A and B are shown apart, each in its own frame.
Chain A
Amino acid sequence: MNEQDVYEFYNNTTKIVYVDIEARGNIAPVELLFEIHAAFDHLKRFHLGEKTEDEACQKALIHLKRASLDGYKLILYDFHEHYNKLIGHDTEHLRMIDNGQFLPKAIKLRNQIVDTARTARKNEGVTSIEESFDYWNRVYALIIQFEKEFLDDDKIDWAKIEGKTKARRSLRKDVLLALIVGIIAGIIATVIYNHVF
């Protein structure tokens, strides 16, 4: 292994994952920066004569791989928060979207994301780390699919408004019905009272 390999991994994977996180939330997680710092420190050992190029680069690459995997986990974490916010405590309004298909499809895709992520996590050991990256890339693609299909603000806002409108109409109907029943009951009570007394 040589430095070229390390820089290529950094440029093609670590940097892309890092920029994704930064661009989404305008944040820089220090844990990722620490791993990149650690990689840098290993690389310098080759140039200062402390380690061979292969030794130094192997170690550096492990840190960059760790940073990249942590990045994927943060993206999953972020998705999890968005999903919980979407589902929340009240899913009534979501059942109105796409003829009731929205919610079951969202749950199904979310479950697929979680299952794939579980497999990715299981493969994070040194011998199967490349497979882990394959699975994490799949998790990412599924998250993007979820964001496009189910985190459309326009659809959800429409459903919330429709839900509130339906609830208001239902409340008005109930109040009117209660009023009519009350009036009728009052009339009947009056007639009975007048008849008896």
Chain B
Amino acid sequence: MATAVNAMEKNVSSLMDMTLEEIKRMSPSEIRIHIEKSKNSKLTFVSAFPAIGRGNVLRENLATTEQLNAGVDEILRNE
């Protein structure tokens, strides 16, 4: 069992190019920034339904913060 658990810990360490302890200490934002830098692209929020999950009302309409802000700004401009 220890070997199987270690496989993920080792792989994640390798994917992130940092120790497991460093990863555990990082905040979600820090992790996001680190991965975006290494991939040179923005993190994408996706819906994996129906592969997993028990229903997601945002299935077809996932929006980034930027898109939401742009949408709201557009509404406010027209008011």
**Who on chain A is nearest to B53 by CB?**
A31
- Taking a contact as CB atoms closer than 8 A, the residue among A20, A26, A29 that contacts B36 in the complex is A26
- Taking a contact as CB atoms closer than 8 A, the residue among A11, A26, A29, A144 that contacts B47 in the complex is A29
Q: Which residues of A contact B8 (CB under 8 A)?
A: 16-17, 20, 137, 140-141
Does A44 count as interface, using CB distance less than 8 angstroms? Answer: no
Contact across chains for B31 and A22 when beta carbons are under 8 A apart: yes
Give the interface size class of chain A: 20 to 34
Does A85 count as interface, using CB distance less than 8 angstroms? Answer: no
How many residues from B make CB contacts under 8 Å with A? 34
**Chain B nearest CB, measured from A160 CB (Å):** 26
Contact across chains for B12 and A19 when beta carbons are under 8 A apart: yes
Does B19 count as interface, using CB distance less than 8 angstroms? Answer: no
Per the bound structure, the CA–CA distance linking A144 and B51 in Å amounts to: 21
Per the bound structure, the CA–CA distance linking A33 and B51 in Å amounts to: 15
Contact across chains for B7 and A31 when beta carbons are under 8 A apart: no
Interface of A is mostly: helix
Contact across chains for A73 and B51 when beta carbons are under 8 A apart: yes
**Who on chain A is nearest to B59 by CB?**
A30
* Other 5 A-B pairs with CB < 8 A, given A22-B35, A31-B52, A34-B53: A19-B16, A20-B8, A22-B31, A73-B52, A141-B4
* A residues at B contact (CB < 8 Å): 11-12, 15-17, 19-20, 22-24, 26-34, 70, 73-74, 77, 134, 137-138, 140-141, 144
* Closest 9 pairs between A and B when the two form their complex, measured CB to CB: A31-B53, A137-B4, A141-B7, A23-B15, A70-B52, A29-B48, A141-B4, A26-B39, A138-B4
